[in-house]
Chains A and B, each alone.
Chain A
Amino acid sequence: MALEQDVEVLEKNNIIVSTLDKLWNWGRAHSFWPLTYGCNCCPIEMMAAGASRFDMARYGYEVFRASPRQADLLIVAGPITLKMKPVVERIWAQMPEPKWVVAMGNCATSGGPFKDGYAVLPGCDSLFDVDVFVPGCPPRPEALFHGLLELKKKVEGKS
């Protein structure tokens, strides 16, 4: 409590106190660079989100990186088959911290129509802690934007 009172006193004297964490989170929240990963129909919506009608670039999230070393955000867009599972885990391990996951579409959220299949993982939340679920089959680009903006709020610590 003493610390907060100090901050208040400083604010009255026109000195704004912030933490480095706030600045860092501001930077991180405004530049998610997604990894290009997907299966078939959710990625089409993801590509549409980057194209001219919807334009993901407005938020600064359009820098899709092909190498996991430079990506911050894994958009799991599609079902994860058991054969693909080790690959996804490896890609996730290769991404540098801090990193986030967005599960896009019903397949990534819960397995969708392939939930009872013998070769499909029912949802990617068994592999890593998913930050935002974007339901839909496939979700529209607006839904993806909503998911990304929710993630932005989460990273900035406002949710």
Chain B
Amino acid sequence: MESLFLDIAQTLTGWLQSLGLSAVWADFILLIIQFACVAGIVTINVIILIWLERKVSGFIQLRLGPNRLGPWGAFQTIADAIKLLTKEDIIPTRTDKWIFRTAPLFFITVAMMLYLVIPMGDGMQIVDLNIGVFYFISLASLSTIALLMAGWSSNNKWSLLGAMRSVAQMISYEIPLTFSLLGVIMIAGSLRLSDIVAAQSNIWFIVFQPVAFITYFIAATAELNRGPFDMPEAEQELTAGAYTEYTGMRWALFFLAEYTNLVAVSAMASTMFLGGWQGPWLPSWLWIIIKTYIIMFVFMWIKWTFPRIRMDHLMSFSWKVLLPVSLANIVVTGVGIYVFKWMGWC
């Protein structure tokens, strides 16, 4: 079971080469297949996640959640997807049409590109970049632009306010997010994600970097615009934030992208702090799925437990609490590494 997907990839490459293709072309076709697999995995994951979110919210609020369609309401999301696909597509007349149309596409593209560097098992990485963490952080912050595009082009006050809020929030929380990952990078001594996973073969980095993990988690919640930091979508104040004017499938694409980001950030958390695909007995690709789902469950748990906090509190929390804490964490980590080396422990 361990090398199931690698064997499939190898057989496929062998078959392509047996057709008379050169090795470069075979690799190229394999890359396209891998990307198609990522798109498929993401879509299936989102269908499961939305169902899970509704079930988890139900159980937390002492309800049952969807249970009429299929076993435990498993087909509920499929019904929703069919309905959203067949809804009327409204583009209001006063919008900036091209930006309005491209914003959801841009959002989902950026969200899917995050998966290029995440190791989804032993040797199961589409591209093993030597600046993997940097790539991840810089792409993750690009999704801000998609939200700003949506808000600006809608020509609607709620949309614009929601977009401005999300930009302010995401830029503020980007900094503690990056700083919290720096501690891990300092210990592992590499920006390559496979090296970081390999460095955790004996002990997970959450043991050395508990503060960084908590800062990362909080910053990631804000980065994903999820509750209790879902200011850009605050329904009571802004109807639906940047998504107010979007209908049917265009709106669903935004939703898809948000959940895609959620999976990517959770997979990143398990790679950086929880040992990635490493674990006993079970195959490596199953381990990262288990770890990612546990982290996503905690995200949902937090969302349905805490009330939304106010915008100014949100900003001051980032700049006055999270940023100093993450900076202090870097200093302490640096001193710690020096002491470890001086004592000859590593």
Contact = CB atoms under 8 A, between A and B. Distances in A.
A37 interface: no
Contacts of A62: 54
A26 interface: yes
9 contacts: A27-B83, A55-B58, A58-B66, A60-B79, A66-B239, A67-B245, A69-B246, A69-B251, A72-B87
Interface of A: 23-24, 26-28, 30-31, 51-52, 55, 57-60, 62-63, 65-67, 69-70, 72, 94, 96-98
Interface residues of B, number: 36
Given A28-B82, A96-B247, 16 more contacts: A23-B82, A24-B83, A28-B86, A30-B79, A31-B83, A51-B61, A51-B63, A52-B63, A55-B65, A57-B54, A57-B66, A58-B66, A69-B246, A70-B251, A72-B83, A96-B90
Contacts of B85: 27
A158 B86 CA distance: 20
B113 to A, nearest CB: 27
Contacts of A27: 78-83, 85-86
A70 B88 CA distance: 10
Listed residue (A28, A66, A97, A98) with the most chain B CB atoms within 10 angstroms of its CB: A66
B82 A69 contact: no
3 tightest A-B CB contacts, nearest first: A27-B82, A96-B88, A30-B79
Which one of B69, B73, B87 has the highest number of Cβ atoms from chain A below 10 Å of its Cβ?
A: B87
Contacts of B61: 51-52
A28 B88 CA distance: 12
Contacts of B244: 67, 69
Nearest to A70: B251
